[in-house]
Amino acid sequence: MKYIDFVNLKYKPEETDIICKFYVEPEDASIKEIAGGVAAESSIGTWTELTTIKHYVKKLAAHVFSIKGNDVKIAYPIELFEEENMPNILSSIAGNVFGLKTLKNLRLNDIYFPPQLIKNFKGPKYGIEGIRKLLKVNARPLVGTIIKPKLGLKTTDHAEVAYEAWLGGCDIVKDDENLSNQRFNPFEDRVIKTLESRDKAEEETGERKVYMANVTAETKKMLKRAEFVLNHGGEYIMVDILTCGFSALQTLCEEDFDLVIHAHRAGHAAFTKDPKHGISMQVIAKIARIIGVDQLHVGTGVGKMFETRKEVSENIEALKEEMNGLKRTFPVASGGLHPGLIPALIKFFGTDFIIQAGGGIHGHKEGTISGSKAMRQAVDATLKNIPLSEYAKTHKELENALQTWKEQD
């Protein structure tokens, strides 16, 4: 079979097919030929005709069934894949095809997983509804922070910053993505001391509080760390899903710990930033949800990150759309956020999202407690339809925050 033989614009996908939407930009071939090449190289074909293809193999060929400009849709028979093996699926549809010399650019923009495949994965254990039940917060966005500076704090100071953030009004405190088990802040000591701070903050505020300890590591070590968190009264863990890999993530989810899994997307821009090449965040979001994460960073549409509002909206939809009965994954907005951006965030996200602000809390001139208060005040004002400038007249923490970041904008 030649590349062109994998193009069949009359093909109608089967209900069990995996369907991928690619942006395809040829280097020195027609769009039809190179689209067929992508389908061939990601299913049963290769660069030359083979004498080893039997008649029964041909029915497993992927089919290019739509070409509109540079947008190409390819259907893959489900029999091509080990159905409960996400690394295998991705090695096929998003593997060697990116290196084809005849391609100038290739981007996997979207993917449809059939119910027959989705049912083999756990999906979120808690999701939006379970997390809201755990925290007893039903009608507003959750407010979270990341300990800053991201690296360097000793364990006692880390736990103190967490305590101050909770005391000021944060629901959630998490480690940064690159805080692990460094000598200045060992993992086990950090978990014990920070959970002690959580308990103290809960007692003093009367609110539920959670700590996301970063368990990212080699898979066996990651499982031990998750178990350590659980055994010491923790309810949440955080994992860098791309750097640890989908195989490790799948193993973690299948352990079925009674822990909410917060997914950080560290490294995603290496795949997602080029609009013509790589893999979209929408695809990553769908995969992470199917495997089983409860919450995931999706961008902001404002702040310091590059993603457009359209891209962020697609990421949110991937976490919330109907998907064979899977629970909805909580979208997390993070990256350059401060209280002044809250009205725009809530207008865009609605209320079912998590605000994750680092510098926008710890950068408050009066410290972390005031920074957390300012963030909660911004949320309260927005939900009451009161302009922040008006609300700030009677809430000095918000007033100072607005002034601080007005000066920096």
Looking at residue 53, what DSSP letter applies? -
Shared domain check, 316 and 190: yes
Q: What is the pLDDT of residue 409?
A: 39
Tens of pLDDT, residue by residue over 131-166, are 999 999 999 999 999 999 999 999 999 999 999 999
Q: What is the pLDDT of residue 258?
A: 97
The residues carrying an active-site annotation are 148, 264
Question: Does residue 89 fall inside a structural domain?
Answer: yes
Half-sphere exposure for 387 (CA within 13 Å, toward CB) = 3
Residue 303: band (very low, low, confident or very high) from pLDDT cuts 50, 70, 90: low
Question: Does residue 240 fall inside a structural domain?
Answer: yes
Contact 131, 295 (CB under 8 A): yes
Shared domain check, 249 and 185: yes
Beta bridge partners of 76: 18
Question: Does residue 348 fall inside a structural domain?
Answer: yes
Percent of the chain at pLDDT above 70? Answer: 98
Question: Does residue 151 fall inside a structural domain?
Answer: yes
Question: Does residue 1 fall inside a structural domain?
Answer: no
Shared domain check, 293 and 227: yes
Give the other-Cβ count within 10 Å of 71's Cβ.
15
Shared domain check, 142 and 17: no
Question: Does residue 235 fall inside a structural domain?
Answer: yes
Give per-residue burial for 244-275: e unless 16+ CB within 10 Å, then b.
Answer: bebebbbbbbeeebebbbbbbbbebeebbeee
Instruction: Tell me which residue range forms the domain holding 303.
Output: 127-408
Question: Does residue 395 fall inside a structural domain?
Answer: yes
Say which CATH number the domain at 70 has. Answer: 3.30.70.150
Whether the pLDDT of residue 407 is over 60: the answer is no
Q: What is the pLDDT of residue 408?
A: 47
Nearest alpha-carbon partner for 229 in 264, 261, 201: 261
Question: Does residue 2 fall inside a structural domain?
Answer: no
Shared domain check, 291 and 260: yes
The pair of structure tokens assigned to 383 is 């939900």
Q: What is the pLDDT of residue 306?
A: 66
More confident of the two residues 165 and 405: 165
Tens of pLDDT, residue by residue over 64-93, are 999 999 999 999 999 999 989 999 999 999
Q: Is the peptide bond before 149 cis (omega within 30 degrees of 0)?
A: yes
**In whole numbers, what is the pLDDT of the chain averaged over residues?**
95
Q: End of a domain among 118, 148, 178? A: 118
Residue 50: band (very low, low, confident or very high) from pLDDT cuts 50, 70, 90: confident
Shared domain check, 238 and 138: yes
The pair of structure tokens assigned to 169 is 């009004």
Shared domain check, 288 and 190: yes
pTM of the model: 0.95
Percent of the chain at pLDDT above 90? Answer: 89
Q: Residues 125-132: what's their mean pLDDT?
A: 98
Q: End of a domain among 80, 96, 118? A: 118
Shared domain check, 141 and 57: no
Shared domain check, 364 and 275: yes
Residue 285 CB contacts under 8 Å (≥ 6 apart), including other chains: 296, 298, 315, 318, 319, 329
Lowest pLDDT segment from 43-52, 89-98, 117-126, 190-199 = 43-52
Q: End of a domain among 55, 85, 118? A: 118
Shared domain check, 180 and 98: no
Shared domain check, 256 and 153: yes
Beta bridge partners of 213: 237
Shared domain check, 77 and 188: no
The pair of structure tokens assigned to 1 is 């079979």
The total domain count for the chain is 2
Say which CATH number the domain at 363 has. Answer: 3.20.20.110
